[in-house]
Amino acid sequence: MSPQLQYIAGSLLIFVLLLVPLLYLRRRLRQWGEHMKEDVARALRRRLVLPLFLLIATVAARLPLRLVAPEPELAETIEHLLSILLIVFISCTLVQAVALARRALLLRYDLGVRDNLRARRVFTQFKVLESIVVFLIVLVALSLVLMSFEGIRRIGVSLLASAGVAGVVIGFAAQKVIVTILAGIQIAITQPIRIDDVVIVENEWGWIDEINLTYVVVRIWDKRRLVLPTTYFIETPFQNWTRSSAEILGTVFIYADYTLPVESVRQELARILENHAYWDGQVSNVQVTNASERTVEIRILLSAADSPSAWNLRVDVRERMLAFLQRQHPECLPRARVELQKHKAGS
């Protein structure tokens, strides 16, 4: 048998031997899909089986190469190429496995519930941890690929001889990158922000949509996206409305004439809040907080389960209070008084 046929036969044999566990794994994934969410099971089959298949094919093509190679130089070149592909496919498999492990571990947590503080904390930790692990996998894979070239390996050895100078230069050049990465790790540990937190940054109100290793995406209320470096949330003051809980207080200000009976406003507020969909039944208060030369300032304090509910509650109460004043006390709306005096003749 010729060396080429021996190589083909050896590769096919190794491929078949390695394919059997992969087929078994694929079958098990189908069975696991009956006990877990279908989209997760489908993601496992789609994102993990293909990288493993390519990895097996590369291993099957590389292992018998040296044994039956007719030309050592050609075999060395092909082996080098297959080694690079092996590193790439192993890295892809590990990256997909990390993403799927995060997805499977987070099945028990739901961000859609009202009291989702624990879920947001866990989602944030796993998301940043996944970014760190993926970054390390890519860094190691890239280093292995570059070091597989003899010329680059020699350069690396030469640089090691002057590691002190090179370290200082690289440290200054990568200072921003290192600080940003460390800020991402700090956010994962201390968690000043979490996934789905309600924040006010750069005078914009929105939700934390993504937390990556080097940047954070804020989903603004009008569906815009604000992208900020992770260092922003370490160095710059910002408002986090859901740091300890999703509950929040909202305010409504009304300006009226001094003749407005405040007790009637309290009664109307109680009527409005009765069985209101957005009020959580905790706080409801009416106070006169200021008085100017023309109007009195009435503050209505309300509580809601989360910030979107608080916003809807505030605008609804404000609209109904204005309608109440216009309907029941139109004479108490803000007005300017002018006093006219007659002058005596000849004065």
Q: How far apart are CA 118 and CA 191, in angstroms?
A: 12
CATH topology of domain 132-244: SH3 type barrels. (2.30.30)
What's the pLDDT at 297?
93
Give one word for 223, left, alpha or beta, with left for phi > 0 and alpha for psi -120 to 50.
left
What's the pLDDT at 87?
82
**Residue tagged 């993926």 (tokens):** 134
What's the pLDDT at 159?
47
User: Mind listing the pLDDT tens digit for each residue in 153-180?
Assistant: 665 555 445 445 545 555 555 567 777 7
What's the pLDDT at 298?
93
More confident residue, 133 or 300: 300
Contact by Cβ (8 Å): 36, 81: no
Chain CA centroid to CA 107, Å:
16
Instruction: Report the amino acid identity of residue 124.
Output: T
Q: Averaged over 30-57, what is the pLDDT? A: 62
User: Mind listing the pLDDT tens digit for each residue in 67-98?
Assistant: 555 566 666 776 777 778 878 888 888 888 88
Domain boundaries, the chain: 1-108, 132-244, 248-332
Contact by Cβ (8 Å): 310, 278: yes
Question: Sheet containing 198-201: which strands, arranged edge to edge?
Answer: 225-229, 215-220, 204-211, 198-201, 239-240
Please, which pLDDT band fits residue 314 given cuts at 50, 70 and 90?
very high
CATH of domain 248-332: 3.30.70.100
Statement: the pTM of the whole predicted model exceeds 0.75: no
Contact by Cβ (8 Å): 208, 111: no
Q: Which of 21-35, 54-68, 99-113, 293-307 is the most confident on average?
A: 293-307
What's the pLDDT at 265?
93
Of 122, 120, 88, nearest to 102 (Cα)?
122
